[in-house]
A and B are shown apart, each in its own frame.
Chain A
Amino acid sequence: MSGYRLDHGGDIDRTRPLTFHWEGKSYSGFSGDTLASALLASGVRMVGRSFKYHRPRGLIGAGLDEPNAIVQLEQGAQTIPNLKAPYVELYEGLSADPVNAWPSLGFDLLAVNGLLKRFIPAAFYYKTFMWPDWLLFEPAIRKAAGLGTSPALPDPDVYAQTSAHTDVLVVGGGIAGLSAALYAAQAGKTVMLVTGGAHWGGRLAGTSDTIEGKPARVWIEDTLRTLAAMPNVTLKARTLATGHYDHGMVSLCERLTDHLPLEQRSGPRQRLWRVRADDLILASGAIERPLVFRGNDRPGVMLAGAARAYLHRYGVIAGRQVVVATNNDSAWQAAFDLAEAGARLVAIVDARNDPSAALLDRARSLGIPVHTGMAPAAARGGRSLRGVRIGRVSREGRIEGATQTLRCDTLLVSGGWNPAVHLHSHGAGRLTLDTNLQSFTPIAAAGHRSVGGAAGDFAPAAPIPALWSISETGEPDPEAWVDFQNDVTAGDIALAARENFRSVEHLKRYTTLGMASDQGKTSNVSGIGILGTLLDRPMQAIGTTKFRPPYDPTPFGVFAGHRVGEGLRPRRRLAFHDWHSENGASLDEYGGWMRPAAYPRAGESEEDAVRREVLAVRAGVGLFEASPLGKIEVKGPDAAAFLDRMYVNTISTLNVGRCRYAIMLTENGTVFDDGVVTRLGEDHFLVGTTSGHAGAIAEALREWLQCEWTTMQVLVEDVTTCWAVANIAGPKARDVLAALEPDVDISGAAFPHMSARTGHVCGLPARIARVSFTGELSYEIAVPWRDAGALWTALVEAGAPYGLTPFGVEALMTMRIEKGFLHVGSDTDGATLPQDIGFGGIMRKKTQDFVGRRSSLRSDGLRADRRSLVGLEVTDGNPAPLTTGAHVLPATAAAPQPGEGWVTSSTWSPTLEAPLALALVERGQDRMGDTVRVWDLGTWREARITGLCRYDPEGARLDA
């Protein structure tokens, strides 16, 4: 037992006690406490085990710099690993456990690592575990590594995201931040002031310091009241600035419910703010450095500033017998405050020979013994500090001469302060070394500046002694910790330097210095100092490692925000979605759209349904929703000439009212898309694209128009979702269409295959195209999306006497394979050229250039052994279709070998009662009738190369 609570002081509410659980035991604290302050007040010393050696550890800090008190909060779906206890607000019923200790914090089996410490220094794992194989050792290493435990259940919480613009964003709610916000607000700017913690006022809150003649507490309250009353000011506590990105964007993570008892939480847990400010003011304060000396990680060694924060914010005294060791003035104030609050100050130990007379006088008046020119040589004790041995210290940090031991249970240390330059550096701001601070300060940059502690405004008039590493040997001590969480010692830094890991980045990566969950907040600058001393190079020349967002670890959930489940990418619904659902469709996602795969009846498998639907279309008439087919209007005086440049086919020769199947290439010559182009008027075309591809095609058309052929007068508009499309296909399709009483002549002669009409069906404005992907007489009827219901109802009614059968995508695919119709994306990939799919002849005939032509005619495109699209006929008597994705091998292949191509589409053909496939095969078009072997995950099939079209090759049914 060491820390204890005062009966007065601090920002806690002593009338509201709270019960919480730590390691399964009950404790009590007060409203306003953090988990750390409540544990400290309860006398809990040991709060964690270190990452590697599992050494017992106590609280060092009072904020996000805390490396030791890493906890697992709550259980089950609510659990969160690796939170820093000083940043966990206490609530009724809170339950937390230490991490990285098994079976318990007090008795941790892996503490044996500490005994082996001398044999497993930094980076030892690169030098061993190679024989016989790393895999033998890795599982044990992995189990020992890690801190907390991942949740095993889905996150029950939701997260919100929002954006904001403000004239001024002030980060940090301390005195500097409050002042900067007030100044900007009074100048009429819109101001957003955020602070990461629950409290305002920063380090000075609750102290006896005065600001503008008022006690700090009063000044803070007055300023907050003033700010809160101003309409142009937004104040946000519990809102941590996590990152500073390009063009001044700052991300904030606001914690909305984390401080509430679990049962009182509702709504989003946290909110991500993306803030743009004309002026970013960083008032993020400074972070204290520990002193580096032997045993400095014993529970009971704490930063002096942290002890002061625990006193003033929470009314907690960190220990019963307190020694303060420092190289600068700030820790003296901690000693004075604690002494005045009734703590027993054993001594102040200052490495400087001549602390100011004012400090010495004050210490004398408070009865605190002072040892100047001295520093801690070693901390004594095991799981808890029992004393500190001190001695005279040289400028280089060497303890010289005799030492004496001071009995104490608490040692408050200060090695100086580092401005918190993280956000400044995220924003590519540069740093300079302040030799008085022995630390890096920000150089003001465009759009953002630092103020207060973050700017190093506390720098003394003369340099503080650097004192990077204290040791009795004069060499960096392997028992003196620099990075507490990752167990990196001064000796490890010396080892890295000895092995030539002398770049600051090598030092970090080799030793893991600064790579822990605090990202080196208390250790990085000390590490640079020690390395600089070892190499005899100035710290500026060594430089810092890169500061990376986030400032403190931030849940992935808040970055994902609404993009979970359906919110990640909402599925698009067809115009007749409800009808499909109600009529037994099995819906599946195709290119972002939920479409009927088939309409299986009771007892039918999907395969059964597909066969029935195909046969119904072939014999009678079927109904298919084709709304996702891309529809792009292309209009203007140059529309025809433009499309000639875009398509492999010539479009300008198309007559009004006629349709043409055409393919489009990328400029790299590969097949980009195919579809039916309809000429609606002299200067007006409707470009059909594959489903789900309309946006990309429209974008490509616009890019060519805006960036290359800038003088062409053409308008491009994607109207895909303006029109709902029903496709009726089959020999009786005309009868069904006729029953809808169209106001255009639909007789075969007046409305031939590959033509289109604009008119009305069942009183609805409609575009009717006689085009076919099934190989049957087929009409695509497009009506305005809002009229979809009326059209579909009319069709179903009119079709009933003809046995109109709804069919899905899979039946359509089966029929197009029977027909040998290409499906871009299945039968082509990003390497397929037009000549590979039978468009070589059309290309040769067209004299004019078009997009992709030149690329398709490079020497590789002219190779004789290119893969070309062919049909495959199964010859092994096995009725099962070939597997799409199976590979095609030569007939002579006896064992697996690199293939000659692959199956691109495959189906059972109910019409031909045979398995059919399409394939891209080397020299395929020259090998008609050849036998090949087909290999799929070790199984072999036999097939013969055929033409593409296996059903109605003359096309008589299309022209019926």
Chain B
Amino acid sequence: MTRYSAWSLLRAGLSGQRTWTPAWRDAKPKKSYEAVIIGGGGHGLATAYYLASKHGLRDIAVLERGWIGGGNTGRNTTVIRSNYFFPESTRFYDFSLSLYEDLSRELNYNIMFSRRGMWSFAHDRHGVEMLRRSANAMRLNGADAEYHEADEVFRRIPGLNPSPRFPILAGLLQPRGGTARHDAVAWGYARAADSLGVDIIQNCEVTGFDIRDGRIRGLETSLGDIAVERVGLAVAGHSSVMAARAGFRLPIVSYALQAFVSEPMKPVLDTVVLAPSTGTYLSQSDKGEIVVGSALDLFPSYAQRGSLPVLEHTAAGLIDLFPHFSRVRLLRQWAGIVDVVQDSTPILGESPVKGLYLNCGWGTGGFKAIPGGGFCFAHNIATGEAHPLAAAFSLDRFRTGALIDEAAASGIAH
């Protein structure tokens, strides 16, 4: 692996960019592996990387049906935060955030984690109380949170509409929140995992599971059979499809979540903003685009397409916050398919099939969880035990009722 640095750029510049080597090898699948991760998105690649780097496993493959990072990793609005309500959530997401903070240096790949802060607002009296409740919960559970009255919110976010339809009465700022370059997260993990010997295999679809006596023995793929007894499934959006191939169902419904970008502009917004009134959230990318999203298309879907109703809703929400963006033009809309579960909390842990582990149910917020999800999932696959930070995210909670209902509790869309 060529180590990346200003020096390597200088050297390559003098040699016509010929010194670069593939960021990852295009591996051919072997007959067997010690562990296989299905899904070459952020979570799958991070899991492989941590299996190799933290648990010493080297005989690992990541199988990706298409191109790595092509699912939700490469389609989301890149917000990173840990502003959750319940301690189980806050601890996990804050751990993930802390991994993000050092990820560029750990992977030797600039994922452009931009600590620009994340705001959410309260729009009415009840909202103020709920926001306060969230701020207190975050701080008591170990995350950073600042509660600000409206004056301070307006001082800190120039351009915010002073008289929106949904008044801004208070703001909760997580200063450590921010954004990162989504593709780079996938590529950085892929390159780092590859350098530790992980086989990354693109255009390889898992078509069936070899399950005997309730235990996973192997996989059937479009590139041949693979014998393996430890398999991690990290295919958010398509979790139910793969589960069906393994013979079980999941408490998941797939929905399309859209994202929108404007044309690139000079810097105009230097933080991340969420308005619960309309569900609108936005930030400005390093390239200068306003990246904005809001609500799900509220019917089950596997189509990664945009639609008009949600675009209209999002545009309205955007303009209520920043009326000057009305003349700014939408460049592109698209959608990713997200795993929606009852309680907006992920499923991380055992499946009904022994040796087959689940990493799914991330709802609309899987991107920020990539390092934490990969870390805990690798721990689970390597040791057979749930990582303490993810123990509450088991599939069993749907039977016991121990749901961690973030959407209901925090009033923040997750």
Contact = CB atoms under 8 A, between A and B. Distances in A.
Q: Is B a genuine binding partner of A?
A: yes
B124 A560 contact: no
Interface in A562-602: 563-566, 568-569, 588-590, 597
Given A127-B8, A150-B265, A153-B324, 15 more contacts: A82-B263, A127-B9, A142-B288, A151-B326, A428-B305, A501-B23, A503-B66, A546-B334, A550-B332, A559-B314, A668-B403, A826-B129, A858-B399, A859-B400, A902-B133
Contacts of B288: 142, 145-147
A63 interface: no
B329 A553 contact: yes
Given A126-B184, A556-B329, A826-B129, A563 B316 contact: yes
A954 interface: no
Nearest to B102: A133
B87 A130 contact: no
Contacts of B129: 826, 884-885
B268 interface: yes
Contacts of B147: 937
Contact of B328 (A125, A549, A556): A556
Contact of B124 (A79, A139, A569, A588): A588
B331 A517 contact: yes
A94 to B, nearest CB: 16
B401 A669 contact: yes
- The interface centre, meaning the residue of A151, A246, A889 with most chain B CB atoms within 10 A of its CB, is A151
Contacts of B224: none
B139 A151 contact: no
A426 B335 CA distance: 12
Interface stretch (B14-22, B28-36, B235-243, B349-357): B14-22
Contact of A831 (B114, B132, B408): B408
B276 interface: no
A898 interface: yes
B207 interface: no
Interface string A274-286: 1000000000000
B323 A861 contact: no
B53 interface: no
Interface in A416-442: 426, 428
Given A141-B286, A830-B407, A899-B137, A859 B264 contact: no
A937 B265 contact: no
Contact of B319 (A79, A491, A564): A564
Interface string A97-135: 000000000000000000000111100111111110011
A251 interface: yes
Interface string B281-312: 00010111000000000000001111110011
A79 B131 CA distance: 36
Contacts of B74: 505, 509
7 contacts: A124-B9, A127-B110, A135-B114, A505-B74, A556-B319, A560-B312, A886-B133
Contacts of B315: 556-557, 559-560, 563
A887 B324 contact: no
A826 B405 contact: no
A554 B319 CA distance: 14
Given A155-B324, A831-B403, A125 B112 contact: yes
Interface residues of B, number: 115
Contacts of B135: 885, 937
B401 A859 contact: yes
- The interface centre, meaning the residue of A428, A502, A503, A509 with most chain B CB atoms within 10 A of its CB, is A509
A897 B139 CA distance: 9
A196 to B, nearest CB: 14
A249 interface: yes
B176 to A, nearest CB: 12
B362 to A, nearest CB: 19
A743 interface: no
B187 interface: yes
B201 to A, nearest CB: 13
Contacts of B332: 519, 548-550
A59 to B, nearest CB: 19
A150 to B, nearest CB: 4
B221 interface: no
A143 interface: yes
A147 B264 contact: yes
Given A151-B324, A500-B26, A564-B320, A831 B112 contact: no
Contact of A498 (B4, B22, B105, B266): B22
B159 A495 contact: no
Given A145-B286, A150-B325, A499-B21, A560 B333 contact: no
A883 B67 CA distance: 51
Contact of A556 (B21, B130, B262, B284): B262
A128 B6 contact: yes
B264 A517 contact: yes
B67 to A, nearest CB: 4
B132 A886 contact: yes
Nearest to A553: B329
Contact of B13 (A119, A500, A546): A119
A81 interface: yes
Given A126-B187, A499-B20, A556 B326 contact: yes
B104 interface: yes
A134 B326 contact: no
A143 B266 contact: yes
